[in-house]
Amino acid sequence: MRTLKILGFLLTYPTPDHLAVLDECAALLKSERWLSSAVLKQIDVFFSDMRLKDLMDLQEEYVALFDRTPSLSLHLFEHIHGDSRDRGQALADLLRVYEEAGLFIDAVETPDYLPLFTEYTSTLGHAEASKTLGSIVNILSSLAERLRSRGSSYAQILYALVETASRSPDPSAVQAHLAQSSGSALTPEEIDQAWEEQFAFENTAQTTGQPSACPKAEDMLARINNYKDNERV
C-alpha cells in the first residue's frame, strides 16, 4: 500500500529529501489508483505549493501548524485522550500492535503519530487498512477541515486519507468538534497554557514500577472504534 506510506511521509517535517521525491510520489499515487482523480488533482496543488516555497518557509509553516496548534496535532491520542492517564495505556497498546506486526519504531515519536500509523496500515491488506483508517476517520476529517480553514494545502493530504477509509465521517460529530476548535493559530499565552507538562504515563508500570492491568493489544483498535461518543477532536 504505497499510497498510505506516501501520504504519511508527506505529513512529516519537510526536508530536502521531500522536495527531491515530489515527482516520484505524485507518479506513485497515480499509478496505484486508490485515490480518485479529484483527490489526486487536489494533491497536485499540495505538490505545487511545496515546489514554489522556500524550504525554510515550509518548515516554519509545518511547525506553526502541527507543533504549535494542539487541535492540529498529528498525535492521534491527543484528540481522544488529551493528556489523561488513559493516553499512556493506549500508547502502550498501540506499540504492542506494531511489535506484533514485526514493526519497531526508529524515530523520536510516540506510536500514535499519524505518519507512523499510516505506515503501519500500509503493511495491511487493502480491506484491513481501509477498515483501520475508518476507525479514526472523524479525526482525519476534523484535521482536514481545520487545515482548510488555515488555508493550508496539507488539508489535501488529510482529505486523501479520509477517502481511503472504509466509512465516511459523521458530519454532525465533525461539526461539533470544529465548534470546539477551528484550528486557528494560538496566541503565545494560549500555547503556554495548552502545552503545560502533563504526565501521560501516570499510574502505569513505567512510572510506578508496579505491574498494571494491560488490555490485550488486539482490543486496541476496537477501543478506537468505540471512542466515537467520547472522542475529543
For residue 212, what pLDDT is reported? 41
Taking the C-alpha atoms of residue 199 and residue 218, their distance in angstroms, rounded to an integer, is 25
Task: State yes or no: pLDDT of 152 exceeds 60.
Answer: yes
Residue 127 is which amino acid?
A
Task: State yes or no: pLDDT of 23 exceeds 50.
Answer: yes
pLDDT tens digits, residue range 32-67?
Answer: 999 999 999 999 999 999 999 999 999 999 999 999
Task: State yes or no: pLDDT of 183 exceeds 60.
Answer: yes
C-alpha grid cell, residue 184: 486557528
75 three-class SS = strand
Task: State yes or no: pLDDT of 117 exceeds 80.
Answer: yes
Taking the C-alpha atoms of residue 142 and residue 72, their distance in angstroms, rounded to an integer, is 9
129 three-class SS = helix
The lowest-confidence range among 51-65, 79-93, 153-167 is 79-93
Mean pLDDT within 1-11: 94
For residue 101, what pLDDT is reported? 84
Tell me, yes or no, if the pTM score tops 0.85: no
Task: State yes or no: pLDDT of 199 exceeds 70.
Answer: no
Mean pLDDT within 164-184: 86
Taking the C-alpha atoms of residue 3 and residue 188, their distance in angstroms, rounded to an integer, is 37
C-alpha grid cell, residue 150: 488555515
Could you tell me which of 72, 5, 3, 66 has the C-alpha nearest to residue 36? 3
Task: State yes or no: pLDDT of 195 exceeds 70.
Answer: no
For residue 30, what pLDDT is reported? 96
Quick one: CA dihedral 204, 206, 212, 213, positive or negative? positive
Mean pLDDT within 127-147: 95
Mean pLDDT within 83-102: 82
Q: Which residue has the higher pLDDT, 1 or 183?
A: 1
* Confidence class for position 184, pLDDT limits 50, 70, 90: confident
